[in-house]
């Protein structure tokens, strides 16, 4: 099973989600069965590490993002991943616009799996420390819900 997490620049929200999801998959005993990656719809930060504020906020909760590097969405991703999950509706629109007609992946919002009414992870880039904490809260809930979904799918195919 392969999951791609998508935001705008791939330096705040989607790498945070990647790091948290990887960590939680390991705790759930699913790390060898689920591949996780992240990317941005824009290419401004290709090759760069996550935002230092995102890394610091994640580290305070025990999540290490230091080894991650930004990359841009590629058409190939629609064939390589089973789930392409956007952090917000704007990036979901980009995914839908780029999606090839023969793509069989699930395209949606990451927070569809969190059970929240508001399905968007807000971009903390231009805000303060609280924005990064809010992203962590939302992403942790989204990761838990997604793991439940992945576990069900993996059990159904075993």
Query: What pLDDT digit, counting tens, does each position of 81-94 carry?
Result: 999 999 999 999 99
Give the model's pLDDT for residue 128.
86
Residue from 7, 37, 39, 71 carrying the catalytic annotation: 7
Residue from 37, 77, 88, 123 carrying the catalytic annotation: 123
Give the model's pLDDT for residue 64.
96
Q: How many whole angstroms from its chain centre is CA 59?
A: 17
Give the model's pLDDT for residue 1.
96
- 29 sits in the region (left: phi over 0; alpha: psi -120 to 50; else beta) called left
Residue from 12, 13, 37, 71 carrying the catalytic annotation: 13
Judge whether 123 counts as a catalytic residue. yes
Taking alpha carbons only, the member of 71, 97, 95 closest to residue 18 is 71
Give the model's pLDDT for residue 117.
86
Beta bridge partners of 2: 35
Judge whether 99 counts as a catalytic residue. no
Q: Domains of the chain (ranges plus CATH)?
A: 2-151 (3.40.50.2300)
pTM: 0.97
* Cα distance between residue 147 and residue 155, in whole Å: 12
* Cα distance between residue 110 and residue 129, in whole Å: 22
Judge whether 2 counts as a catalytic residue. no
Give the model's pLDDT for residue 11.
97
Is residue 106 exposed (0-12), middle (13-18) or buried (19+ Cβ within 10 Å)? middle
Q: Which residues of the chain have pLDDT under 50?
A: none
């Amino acid at each position: 099973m392969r999951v791609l997490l998508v935001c705008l620049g791939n330096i705040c929200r989607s790498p945070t989600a990647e790091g948290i999801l990887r960590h939680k998959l390991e705790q759930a005993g699913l790390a060898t069965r689920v591949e996780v990656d992240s990317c941005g719809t824009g290419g401004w930060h290709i090759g760069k590490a996550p935002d230092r504020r995102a890394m610091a906020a994640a580290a305070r909760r025990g999540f290490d993002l230091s080894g991650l590097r930004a990359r841009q969405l590629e058409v190939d991703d629609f064939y390589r991943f089973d789930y392409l999950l956007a952090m917000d509706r704007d990036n979901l629109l980009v995914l839908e616009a780029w999606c090839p007609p023969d793509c069989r992946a699930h395209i949606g919002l990451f927070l569809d799996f969190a059970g929240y009414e508001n399905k968007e992870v807000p971009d903390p880039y231009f805000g303060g420390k609280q924005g990064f904490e809010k992203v962590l809260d939302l992403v942790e809930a989204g990761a838990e819900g997604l793991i439940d979904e992945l576990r069900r799918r993996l059990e159904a195919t075993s």
